[in-house]
Structure 1
Amino acid sequence: MFHPDAVRAVMPMFDPDQAWPVAGPADDYSRYYALDEERRQVGLTHAGGWLEAAGYRILVHYFRPERCRGTLFIVHGYLEHSGLYPQLLPYILSLGYAVVLHDLPGHGLSSGVRAGIRDFSEYQIILDRLMARVATSAPRPWLGMGQSTGGGILMEHVLQSLQDGRPPAFERLFLLAPLVLPTPFQWWQIRGAFWLVGALRTAMPRNFRRNTSDDSFLDFVRRQDPLQSHWMPVGWINALRRWVPHLHRFPATDFPVWLVQGDRDSTVNSRYNRRFIRSRFRVVVSLQLREASHQLANERQDIRAPVDALLTDFLQQSPA
């Protein structure tokens, strides 16, 4: 076990060339979440620390194999953090890709109101700052992978870049249950019930949904993860309400994406989101998993096997 405040107290500023501490609170944290991949893969380097952006201190991890084919930026979902990718991280690194991970504001070890955000535009400021910080050290090509809200953040980066007449930082995207709209019931709550509640209180108790078939992961998140938030700020909900129409204003592009969704997803509106993504991007592959729920990066191994296979195809694509 580790104490989050003890880790925050010793964390240095992020330097892509500075190795992650091998002892003390920071090491306790990385071992707890199996982020210490440098102990298991020969020639792998692991750097990390604080990145200051948009008024936050953002925790960053940067993993680089000895022989690199490129860099994959992973952006996690809402109510998640960098430590929740123990299945995918070693697999991606074994395929020869460097990985850049960061905790969103209010998530994991990053600063900010727990699970909150003032406006979704801050996610873009942080992503831009992070990419600028690793621009001279992270091998090209750059690819992006986003789970849920992370997928929405990456899609907005691409759409905004192309609308502004500049190339996106990424060559292609791998989207896991990406956020465009929540399910109809949740969207009704966000636009109606949460507005009413927001007049009386600043946060709602979190309902830990059964968003994966992996019981061990569910138990870990609910009972053993000290970085989980047990409240959902009304401020984040209101920021989402403003972001959805903003995302819909972007025109169609020919940018390539790989899309994975689960038929049992009760968090995002998979059917609507699939139509929206096809109307804005060139969907190279769309994988619909009958038994999968929302937490695709942490589904049961047999359910996740097609995701791993598709990820391998995504990473091994030749440059366009």
Structure 2
Amino acid sequence: MDQRFLDSLVERLPELQLGQPFNPAARQYAAYYGIDFSAEVEQHLGHIAVDGFDLAVQVWRPSAPRGTLVILHGYYDHMGLYRHLIRWALSHRLAVLAFDLPGHGLSSGERASIDCFLRYQQVLDGVFEQARLWRLSAPWHFLGQSTGGAILIDRLLHGPMPEQAGQTILMAPLVRPKQWGVSQFSLKLLGGFIQQLGRRFTDNSTDGDFLEFIRQHDPLQPQVLPVAWVQALDKWIPRIETAVPTEHKPLIVQGQADGTVDWQHNIKVLQEKFDGPELFYLPEARHHLANEQAGLRQQYLDWLGDRLGY
């Protein structure tokens, strides 16, 4: 799949309305990423306008759903990479709502950048409003990988959560990245002179096929690290670390071989901010839990299924 096809797809994305046909171009995109479940469930791809962005949104809806899973992807990701979690949710008769964050995937915005993390909260408000208009089945469970988890942490601490809210699942959630002190020092040196750095791909999963795909075969992978995104993160971290604790009890899945986030520090912060969150550790898992090898995925999916009653 080349960038020209994706650019054409974005240009022709309709405003998302449930019930509209799943067109051939959308099906081709979904098939490439392994997220075409249109033969089994009602599936839609379109865009919604939120806070100056055109957000690409996708909905999978089985017959007689018994809830909805809302997926928030990680930094550099997009909803096309979450086929394992989408398939798992659909197998439990959950509808799925996923969207590309601003600057990611098929959504508009400067690639992999944001000027303020609070804009992610405005985007989330817009998505919630659409979910209400579409009358997606309650309860709404929320799952966030890494930066997606950070967005959900902010929402749990500062609210409001929608009345339809069920469980919140944080997978390798971001509060501070690994070696954040070094990053802050570099930010002060470079912030006034350099706008972006080249992206460095890391071995953030034990699934070699996934690593090869994002490096060699995924045209939606950003190739830069914008300094503006790191500056926005720098301003956001104190908002979380100084927040007043809340009674929410998220489910947290964390790999202990994670070299992307400072997970020991992050878990300590989350245990202080939330009222007895449930933790599931995977000693061999790295950062990208949504795309870890099958055996590791099955361990945490079984655990999540028990907690969600599925």
Name the residue aligned to 2:246: 253
Whether the 8 Å contact between 1:158 and 1:168 is mirrored in structure 2 is no
Whether the 8 Å contact between 1:259 and 1:283 is mirrored in structure 2 is no
State the alpha-carbon separation in 1 of the partners of residues 162 and 241 from structure 2. 20
Listed as ranges, the matches of 1:95-110 within 5 Å are 95-110=92-107
Comparing 226-235 and 271-280, the one that deviates more? 271-280
Whether the 8 Å contact between 2:138 and 2:164 is mirrored in structure 1 is no
State the alpha-carbon separation in 2 of the partners of residues 279 and 221 from structure 1. 35
State the alpha-carbon separation in 2 of the partners of residues 94 and 283 from structure 1. 29
Tell me the secondary structure at the aligned position of residue 11 of structure 2: helix
TM-score by length of 2: 0.95
CA RMSD of aligned residues (A): 1.5
> Quick one: percent identity of the two aligned structures?
36
Structure 1: which amino acid aligns with 2:150? G
Matched, 1:272 2:259: no
Q: Deviations over 1:78-128 (max 9, x none)?
A: 000000012111111110111110000010011111000011111010110
Whether the 8 Å contact between 2:204 and 2:258 is mirrored in structure 1 is yes
The 1:205/1:189 distance shift into structure 2, 3 A limit, reads farther
Provide runs of 4+ in structure 1 moved above 3 Å.
166-169
Listed as ranges, the matches of 1:108-257 within 5 Å are 108-136=105-133, 137-161=135-159, 170-183=165-178, 185=179, 187-257=180-250
1:38 deviates by 1.5
Structure 1: which amino acid aligns with 2:146? S
Tell me the secondary structure at the aligned position of residue 267 of structure 2: helix
1:46 to 19, 43, 48: 43
State the alpha-carbon separation in 2 of the partners of residues 80 and 225 from structure 1. 10
How many aligned residue pairs are there?
307
1:291 deviates by 0.5
Name the residue aligned to 1:298: 291
Whether the 8 Å contact between 1:13 and 1:49 is mirrored in structure 2 is yes
TM-score by length of 1: 0.92
The 1:197/1:169 distance shift into structure 2, 3 A limit, reads farther
Matched, 1:77 2:36: no
State the alpha-carbon separation in 2 of the partners of residues 313 and 284 from structure 1. 15
Name the residue aligned to 1:35: 35
State the alpha-carbon separation in 2 of the partners of residues 182 and 65 from structure 1. 37
* Runs (5+) with no aligned partner, structure 2: none
Whether the 8 Å contact between 1:18 and 1:48 is mirrored in structure 2 is no
Tell me the secondary structure at the aligned position of residue 110 of structure 2: coil
Whether the 8 Å contact between 1:50 and 1:58 is mirrored in structure 2 is yes
Name the residue aligned to 1:60: 57
Q: Deviations over 1:205-233 (max 9, x none)?
A: 11100000000000000000000001010
